[in-house]
Structure 1
Amino acid sequence: MASSYGKTIRKVRLNAGFSQKEVYTEIVSKSFAIAFEKGEYSIKIESFLEILERLMLSFDEFMYIHQGYQTKKIEDLGNRINLASNQNNEALLKKYYDEAKNSRSMKTRVLAEQAHVLSYVIHYRNQPEENKIYPQESVQFLKTFLLRSDEWTFRELTIFNNVSDIFDEQTEEMLTIYALKTIDRYQNYVRLQDELFLISLSILGTTIEKGRLKQAKEQIKNLAAKPYDTFQMLHRTLLLFYKGTVSYLEGDQEKGIYLLSQAFLMLKLDHQEVLKRQFYQVLEKHSTVNVKEIVSQVNRCLAYLEITND
C-alpha cells in the first residue's frame, strides 16, 4: 500500500483516541508503525486491512478521508469519459480516445476503446436514421477483453453496460449471461446496490427489446425478490414498466395494460414527462404492440386509478 497512507492513518488514529499499541500490536512492530505513520514505509494490504478493522473504518471511507474528504477526482480518465458520455459529448469522447489510444497501460487502453465506441453510440442515438457501423478494431478489442473470463468484477460489468449496443446479437447474449452472473455474485455488496439495480434494469430493457422474453421474466423475478423498501420510486416505476411490457408481449394484454398504467401514474405523480415519452418510444419498437391502443387504455386506467386514489 502507498506510503502516504500512513500519515492519514495517524490522523484518523489520533482523532479517534487510539494508541499505537491498540492499533498495531501483533500486526507490525512498534518501529515499523512509527515509520509507517511518518510516510517512510509502505505496508502489505493484508496488514493494512487489519489496521482499518481496528480503527473501525472501511477502505472506502478511508480513501474518502485520504483524498481530503472528496470522492475520486474528475481528472481521472474513467470519470471524464463517463461525464462526457452522460453529456452526449461525441467530440470530447473522440478527443479522449485520440489522447489515450496508444497507451501501454491496459487500463487506459480499455478506457480509450470504450470512449471510441461510445462516441459512435451517441452519434447514432442522435442520428437514428443512419446505418450503425461501429469501428471494428475497437469492438473486437472490447469483445476479447470481456470474453477472456466470465468471472467479471464490477469494472467489466459497467463496461458491458455502457457498450452493449456495439456487439452482434450472439456476443451480446453471451455477455449478458456473464453480466447477470456478476450481478448475482455482487448482490450482497451493499455499497453497489443502487448501481447494480440500475444496470440490471438497463440489461432487462435490452433483453426485452431483443425479444428474449423468457430471460426477461427470470430477470424480473430476481429483481422483484429484492425488498421494496430499498427501492427508490423511480426504480419501482421502471420495474413495473418492464413487467407490464413483458406481460403484454406474452399475450396477457389485460395484465400488461394494468401494470403499464401503474407505471405511467407513478411517472405522472413524479412529474417525469421525459421518461414518459421514452417509455412510449420503447413500446413503439415492438411491431406486435399497438401503442395507440395502449395509450388509450392506459389513459382510461389512469383516470380510474386517480379517482380511486383520491
Structure 2
Amino acid sequence: MFLSTTPEKMKIGQTFKRLRLDKHFTMKEVAAGEVSRSFVYKFEQGEYDISVSKLLFLLNRIGVSFDELMIAANNYENYEDSFFVNLFLAIESKNQKKLAELAELNHHGSSLTEQLVYSLAVLFLDTNGDSGKKDEAAFIFHYLTSVATWTRFELQVFNYVMPYITSDEQLSLLSKSRDCVLNYKNSLNDLYINYFSYIVVGMVHSLLQQNKITASHQVITTIEEVREVTGNERLTASFNFVQALVQFYEDSSAEKIGPVLESITPIVQLNNKYARQLEKIWDYHIRHLNLSDQV
C-alpha cells in the first residue's frame, strides 16, 4: 500500500520533517542504514510514493506513531485524542502560544492527565518565574516517584522536568530511568535512549556546577551499564563526553583538555546540533573553573 496523492505526500513529508527536526534527529540517524538519506530527503519533499511499511519504519526511528503524525499533519485538530502529543511538540519547539493554550485548557482539570499537562506546560512558559514553578515541579516529581514501573512516557517526562528539581531528586529518579531503558531494551527505539542520553548529560552538567564529583561518578556508572546493553551511538558519545569532563574536574591540567575535545569531535558527524550543545556545556565549565586561558 502506498501514500500516493501529491497533496497528501507533501503534507505528510513536511510534517515528518518538522517532527524530526523538533526531536533533533538527523537524516542519517533516521535512515539507520535501512533506507538512504536521499530517500528520506525526497520523502520529506513529497517526491516519493512511500509505502506504509517504510513510513512506519521512519516514524519508529523518531518515536512518533502514525496517529500522532496525522494529528500533527492536520494542525492538531483532535486534541482530545492526542493528550500529550501537543504538549511534547510544543515543548520541543518552544511554542509559547501553544503552551499557554494547553495550560489554560487544563488549568482547572481534575484528572491526572489534565494536571500533568498543565504542570508541564507551566514549567516551559517564559512568563512564569522559576519560583512560581516549584509547585508544578513538585507535583510531577511526586507522580514519577509514585509510578512503580516506568514506561517510555515517564522517561520523557523526567527528561523535561529534570532542570526544575534538585540534584538529590534527580539521582533518586535516575535508577528508574535506567530500569525503564533496560526493561524495554528490545522494543525501545533510539528516541527514548536519546532522551536517556540527554538526562545523564544534563545531570552531570548540573552536578559539576555544584562540584559534586562523587555523585557524577554515580551517573557515569549508570550510563556504562545501559551503554553496554543498548549499543546506542548517542549514548556512547554522551558517556565518553561526561567521563572526560568529570576527569577534567578531578585533574584540571592541560593534558585533560584533549580528551574532552576528542569526545565531541565524533559527535559532529553523528548530530551537529547535539555536538554544539556539548560544546556549550564544555565552554561553561571552562569558565566555571576559570581556565579559559588554557584552551
Q: 1:102-251 alignment to 2 at 5 Å?
A: 102-120=108-126, 132-187=130-185, 190-209=186-205, 210-211=207-208, 212-226=215-229, 228=231, 231-232=232-233, 234-251=234-251
Q: Report what 1:96 is aligned to.
A: 102
3-state SS of paired residue (1:133): helix
Shift, 1:252, TM fit = 7.6
Shift, 1:289, TM fit = 6.7
Cα pair 1:248 1:254 within 8 Å, conserved = no
Shift, 1:183, TM fit = 2.5
Shift, 1:141, TM fit = 2.2
- Name the CA shift for 1:227/1:168 in 2 (closer, same or farther; >3 Å): closer
- Name the CA shift for 1:71/1:147 in 2 (closer, same or farther; >3 Å): same
Q: Distance in 1 between matches of 2:270 and 2:178?
A: 30
Q: Distance in 2 between matches of 1:107 and 1:259?
A: 44
RMSD over aligned Cα, in angstroms? Answer: 3.2
- The unaligned stretches of length 5 or more in structure 2 are 1-55, 77-81, 209-214
Match of 2:83 among 47, 72, 77: 77
Q: Residue 184 of structure 1 aligns to which amino acid in structure 2?
A: L
Q: Distance in 1 between matches of 2:140 and 2:271?
A: 38
Shift, 1:98, TM fit = 0.6
Cα pair 2:90 2:99 within 8 Å, conserved = yes
Shift, 1:236, TM fit = 4.4
- The unaligned stretches of length 5 or more in structure 1 are 1-59, 125-130, 297-310
Q: Distance in 1 between matches of 2:91 and 2:227?
A: 29
Q: Distance in 2 between matches of 1:268 and 1:168?
A: 31
Q: Distance in 1 between matches of 2:270 and 2:117?
A: 35
Q: Report what 2:48 is aligned to.
A: none
3-state SS of paired residue (2:130): coil
User: Which gives a bigger RCO, structure 1 or 2 (Cα 8 Å, sep 6+)?
Assistant: 2
Q: Distance in 2 between matches of 1:197 and 1:225?
A: 13
Q: Distance in 2 between matches of 1:271 and 1:196?
A: 16
Q: Report what 1:21 is aligned to.
A: none
3-state SS of paired residue (1:119): coil
Q: Distance in 2 between matches of 1:214 and 1:86?
A: 29
Q: Report what 1:261 is aligned to.
A: 261
Shift, 1:218, TM fit = 0.1
Shift, 1:97, TM fit = 0.8
Q: Distance in 2 between matches of 1:222 and 1:256?
A: 24
Shift, 1:107, TM fit = 1.8
- Name the CA shift for 1:220/1:203 in 2 (closer, same or farther; >3 Å): same
Shift, 1:86, TM fit = 1.3
Q: Residue 86 of structure 1 aligns to which amino acid in structure 2?
A: E
Shift, 1:240, TM fit = 2.8
- Name the CA shift for 1:271/1:216 in 2 (closer, same or farther; >3 Å): closer
Q: Distance in 1 between matches of 2:95 and 2:149?
A: 32
Greater radius of gyration (CA): 1
Report the TM-score when normalising by structure 1. Answer: 0.58
Q: Residue 202 of structure 1 aligns to which amino acid in structure 2?
A: Y
Q: Percent identity?
A: 13
